[in-house]
Amino acid sequence: MHGHPIEFMFPNDHGSIAWTLMIVLYPYITGLVAGAFVVAALYHVFGKKELAPVARFALAASFSFCAFATMPLLLHLHQPQRAFNIMFTPNFTSAMAGFGFIYSFYLTLLGVEILLVFRDDIVARANRRGVEGWLYKVLALGVTNQTPGSRALDHKWISALSVIGIPAACVLHGYVGFIFGGIKANPWWSTALMPVIFLCSAIVSGVAMLILLYVIASKFRRVQVDDECLRSMMRTLWLFLILAVALEELELLNMAYESGAQWAMLSRLIHEKLHFSFTWLQLILGSVVPFFLLLIGMRRGLHPGVRIGLGTVSGLLVLIQVMSMRWNVVIGGQLLSKSFRGFNNYLPEFGGREGLGVAVLVFCLPFVLMFALGKILPLWKTDAADGH
């Protein structure tokens, strides 16, 4: 039969949205981790010297987001303490349990790299008196002086950890897409492109967040925004935005061309239930508009104030785009009924463990940690003890 299928719902289809707002927030925060680290790696590994003003902060931002990446998952669980079973009784064949090992490795790698990057500043402050001096001595692991040889060794380890961190970051967020892509029963999720799409959108969101934070922090610090640094980040964001959006649309184009049994309902899902979040937020406002704004903002000779404005607006729109993409994938995929003959409904509540209020609070926690790190460590190149 041609036309729309008969729309109805079986009784067991109602109220079947199991992965709610926290599972939208979880890949969003995890993506910011990978994206921020890529900017730091571009400086430490690929020698992008123009990113020097933001390299230290990018590393601290990646660590801050990583520290709270599992918070949405713990709030989603009815028994959060069971998360420790991943370590106590490991099951290496479990796809979901595997994230615990990947996350622990990556968080440890970030922590060690931060200690090495800020080693000179930590050692310089370790001789202070009182609690402050004691704190820096602990961070310095008892080392109270630095030599040219030790600095050279630290730089080698920083480069090595950055090299290891690049594939680790790819695995960290590509793994999130793998979880969704491996669910064969859901046609919206079950695609081999899902890990790559999640990874590219993660880099996009992380770079966009860094642009916003760099501009805002520079205003608060009353420091001029480095024009070449901002231009380099905008160029990186533009390139990865093209890649991410191209993969997202190619996935849909492939589904439409194959015209499988579920495509009739998938197309209706996109045009009806997800019309605003997909068409307007994700595609037009979050993809097409920043594409042109970034293209203009990357031009040489552009007035710095105009570049800052275009970069800030583009960063904000891209962050909205990635959040919309996460919403459309996580929530949209569950709106399909088990019978593929109707749609579920979902409206997030404000209160409760997985409500909007808690989601906003969890999202703010990494920024609190960034602020705390800024009080302990010089996160900006101009504040470094050794000036490099």
DSSP-assigned beta bridge partners for residue 343 = 336
**Selection from 196, 186, 282 nearest residue 247 by Cα:** 196
Instruction: Tell me whether residue 78 is in a domain.
Output: yes
Residues 327 and 369 in one domain: no
Count of Cβ atoms closer than 10 Å to residue 271 Cβ:
11
Contact in structure between 149 and 165 (CB atoms under 8 Å) = no
| Statement to judge: residues 238 and 383 lie in one domain | no
Q: Does 8 reside within a domain?
A: no
Owning domain of residue 274: 208-346
Q: Residue 188's CB: how many other CB atoms inside 10 A?
A: 25
pTM over 0.95: no
Residues 6+ apart with CB under 8 A from 184: 190
- Is 97 domain-assigned? yes
Q: Which of 384, 388, 369 is nearest to 110 (CA)?
A: 369
Q: Print pLDDT tens along the chain (388 aa).
A: 344 444 555 555 555 688 999 999 999 999 999 899 999 999 999 989 999 999 999 999 999 999 999 999 999 987 888 888 888 888 878 877 888 889 999 999 999 999 999 999 998 888 888 888 889 989 888 777 888 888 899 999 999 999 999 999 888 888 888 888 888 878 888 888 899 999 999 999 999 999 999 999 999 999 999 999 999 999 999 999 999 999 999 988 988 888 777 788 888 889 888 999 999 999 999 999 999 999 999 999 999 999 999 999 999 999 999 999 999 999 998 888 777 777 888 888 888 888 999 999 999 999 999 999 999 999 987 665 444 4
**What span, in angstroms and rounded, lies between the C-alpha atoms of 58 and 37?**
6
Question: Which of 314, 329, 346 lies at the terminal end of a domain, its last residue?
Answer: 346
Residue 12 in any domain: the answer is no
Looking at the fold, whether 114 and 146 belong to one and the same domain comes out as: yes
369 and 289 share one domain = no
Shared domain check, 219 and 339:
yes
Q: Do 310 and 360 belong together in one domain?
A: no
Q: How far apart are CA 204 and CA 242, in angstroms?
A: 10
Residue 360 lies inside a defined structural domain of this protein: yes
- Asked if residue 160 and residue 63 are part of one domain, the reply reads yes
SS3 336: strand
217 shares its domain with 99 = no
Cβ-based neighbour number of residue 37 at 10 Å? 31
With respect to residue 168, please indicate whether it lies within any of the assigned structural domains. Answer: yes
Residues 261 and 365 occupy one common structural domain: no
E strand or H helix at 181? helix 148-181
Residues 302, 174, single domain; the answer is no
141 and 258 together in one domain:
no
Total domains, the chain: 2
Residues 54 and 144 in one domain: yes
